[in-house]
Every structure is written in structure tokens, then in C-alpha cells.
Structure 1
Amino acid sequence: MLTNTFFALSLLPYLGFLYFMTRNPNTPRLALMGFYGTLVFVAITIPAGLYAQSVYGTTLANVDGLHGGAEFFLTLANILIALGFRRALKESS
């Protein structure tokens, strides 16, 4: 239960980070989409974890299909962030 509390509290600073990154005109658009994609990962992980617990009686990490599906969104978000900053670096030089 304590981990759920820490997880929920960790969203507050991240939302603040997103707020300031969105307002900064220098933030690469593609990278910003990736940062928002991390929220999609969180939004998918929570119900997938609840489903794994209720149907399989275990954590999300132990249900490969669900875990891999959720992690796909984190991987996609990370790729967008990397490509966005890569493009920004190329354009600035």
C-alpha cells in the first residue's frame, strides 16, 4: 500500500515538470509528445496491474502479456523523447 502512495505522489512533480516543459517554447515538440506518452504508460499500467491482481492473483510484472503491452508504451515514449532531442540538436548545429 505504501508503494501505491509513493507512486501517486510521484505524479505531482512530474505534472509540474510537464507544465513547465509545455510552456517552454524551446522544448522539442516530439520530445514533449514522448513526455506526455509517459502519462499514457502510467494510465495503462494502473488498470493492467489491477487486472493482473484480480484475474491472475499476481502482480503485473508476473503476467508477461500484460506487462509487455504496458512496457511498449514506455518504450515508445522514450523513443519519442530521444528522437525529439536528437532532431533539436541536429537543427541547432
Structure 2
Amino acid sequence: MFSKDNLFAVSLFPYLGFLWFLTRSQETPRLALIGFYVLLVFVAVTIPAGIYAKMEYGEVLANIDWLHGSAESFLTLSNILVALGFRQGIIEYQKKQEKTQTDD
């Protein structure tokens, strides 16, 4: 079947499709969309970091704390941007609803 590395690589294609649809819909709050794109930066950083961990230390990335934590910081940044973006989107939506109710 699939190894975890192969599954990781194959999962990139559905995610790129997800990003394409989100971007095209123009409904996603901009900050959240940026957060979803930052997840690609996390992937781009994690792969070479994993290779470096294996070549330099003979270990998997998860066992090299400083390297793993550095790579994971991009995941944290992505999550924060997505959460703040959707928070901002909800606030804007609520303001539009209030404005619509007061205009009626």
C-alpha cells in the first residue's frame, strides 16, 4: 500500500485543488486564505528539514527538537492566520447583517 511518505506527497494534490477552489470562490476571508497558503510553506520547509535530520543526525525530524520546532512554527503561523482570518470574516458578516436589519 502507501507508505507515510508517499501518502504525504500524494496528499499535496487534493490540497492544491482545495486552494484553487478557495481562491477562485473569492468568498474566503483574505487572511484565512493566506493562512492556508502558509501551510504550503510549512510543507516546503518540513521536507528539506526532514532530509537534513536524516543526513546530519541519522534521525527522523521529530527526534531533533530544534529542527522540528522550527519547522512546526510555520504550521502554528498557518493555524493562527486561518483562525484570525475566519474570525475577521465572521465579524464582517455580523456587521453586514446588523446593517441590513437596521436598513429594513
For structure 1, the residue ranges without an aligned partner over 5 or more in a row are: none
Displaced runs of 4 or more, over 6 A: none
Match of 1:45 in 2: 46
Give the length in aligned residue pairs. 93
Deviation at 1:24, TM superposition (A): 1.0
Deviation at 1:13, TM superposition (A): 0.5
Mapping of residues 2-81 of structure 1, within 5 Å: 2-81=3-82
Deviation at 1:4, TM superposition (A): 1.2
Superposition TM-score, scaled by structure 1 size: 0.97
RMSD: 0.9
Q: Supply the AA of the counterpart residue of 1:42.
A: V
- The CA deviation string for residues 24-66 of structure 1, in whole angstroms up to 9 with x for no partner, is 1111000000000000000000000000000000000000000
Superposition TM-score, scaled by structure 2 size: 0.87
How far apart, in 1, do the equivalents of 2:33 and 2:78 lie? 9
Identical columns (%): 62
